[in-house]
Amino acid sequence: MKILVTGGTGYIGSHTVVELQNKGFEVVIVDNLSNSSIKIVDNISKITGIRPLLEVFDLTDREKTADFFKRNNDLKGVIHFAAFKAVGESVEYPLKYYRNNLVSLVNILESMGNNEVQNIVFSSSCTVYGEPDELPVSEQAPIKKAESPYGNTKQISEEIIGDTINTSDIHGIALRYFNPIGAHESALIGELPLGIPNNLVPFITQTAIGIREQLKVFGNDYPTRDGTPIRDYIHVVDLAKAHVIAVDRMINNKMKKALEVFNLGTGKGYSVLEVIKSFEKVSRQKLNYKIVDRRAGDVIEVWADPTFSNHELGWKAEKGLDEMVLTAWNWEKALLNKINE
């Protein structure tokens, strides 16, 4: 059972490669290493004992993508992670995001059609819901106008997949992730933010380890229990496991519709200050932070209704906030040790 994992040396992709290999799938990764390191392949093989194949090229290259699919005509499915994901950068460079995230998807779907590869799992995002009208957010919640070109690429991608499915034998599962955090318990793979992290947890761990001076908490005057925004943080390994279940569901014809959409969240929301408290508890150190103005574009609160995923996929996020934050911290410390080696 051979699966293509695009973006498989990236954060969520690498954890998914591990879980696929643990379940006996053969994995081939395509990644252009624009936001990841080739060393991740060594670390994946340290965890699983199996070295995944890696081809380094850009999926926006139509000919290279077509050639890859021709050479790999025994693929049972594709998990498509490869994309740019920095919300703020997408506002500044929209065309960079539309080209990378949309052209790569079009190339992949075209090559799937030409080579009778029928199954695609797509990385979507809770960002498609914007500021939700009702909480928790189910898959039926309306899609709001995207707040950023990045968010728009996720909405358009779901539509591109839907339109393709209507006129072909391709089946798709779009997984809408809430806020993925944490790292593999081995601390051999994790998130590798390039430059200054945008996301909360990498900023916390980089501050604690001394790379950043101070965490800025973006606003404490929101209408929430402690004034800071609430999110549904989900451990990356729980997320990775859902991809294996989705692939299995497609290959074994268990889908109920040609395009299915699932929320991947825990169903619990935590505030920024609660995440900081959890970090201080598991790391046994105080974090240097200060409250500053709100960040433009932040939603007040969003957490998932994971009932449909729980029932239909037989999947449930298992790891709690402290474990998520501890694995992120252990990964940060492991990175420091590597730099000092």
Q: Tell me which DSSP letter residue 78 carries.
A: E
- Alpha-carbon dihedral angle through residues 26, 29, 30, 34, given to the nearest 10 degrees: 170
Report how far residue 341's alpha carbon sits from residue 338's, in angstroms, rounded to the nearest whole number: 5
Beta bridge partners of 179: 233
Tokens of 102: 């949309």
Q: Which of 198, 340 has the CB closer to ligand NAD?
A: 198
**Residue 218 within binding range of ligand WQD, rule CB under 6 A:** yes
CA 40 to chain centre: 16
How far separated are the first and last CA of the chain, in Å rounded? 38
Residue 231 contact partner, candidates ligand NAD, ligand WQD, none, CB within 5 to 8 A by sort of partner: ligand WQD
Query: In the bound complex, what is the minimum distance in angstroms from residue 163's beta carbon to ligand WQD?
Result: 22
Chosen from ligand NAD, ligand WQD, none, partner binding at 83 (C-beta under 5 to 8 Å by type): ligand NAD
Q: From the candidates 150, 177, 222, 233, give the one annotated as an active-site residue.
A: 150
* Smallest gap from residue 139 Cβ to ligand NAD (A): 15
Question: What is the total residue count of the chain?
Answer: 341
Residues 53-92 that bind ligand WQD (CB under 6 A): 85, 87
Q: Which of 72, 115, 138, 198 binds ligand WQD (CB under 6 A)?
A: 198
How far, in Å, are 182, 187, 203, 333 from residue 329 at the CA level? 8, 9, 11, 6
231 binds ligand WQD (CB under 6 A): yes
Known catalytic membership, residue 150? yes
**Measured from the CB atom, is 284 or 332 closer to ligand NAD?**
332
- Whole-number Å distance between alpha carbons of 79 and 65: 15
Q: Looking only at residues 93 through 132 of this chain, which bind ligand NAD when binding is defined by CB under 6 A? A: 100, 104, 123, 125
From ligand NAD, ligand WQD, none, interface partner of 298 (C-beta below 5 to 8 A by class): ligand WQD
Q: Which of 175, 164, 35 is nearest to 106 (CA)?
A: 164
Among 3, 4, 32, 54, binds ligand NAD (CB under 6 A): 32
In this chain, which stretch among 51-59, 163-171, 197-205, 241-249 interacts with ligand WQD, using CB under 6 A? 197-205
Which residue number, 43 or 60, has a Cβ lying nearer to ligand NAD? 60
Are the C-beta atoms of residues 18 and 44 closer than 8 Å to each other? Answer: yes
Q: Which of 7, 16, 38, 186 is nearest to 105 (CA)?
A: 7
Catalytic residues: 150
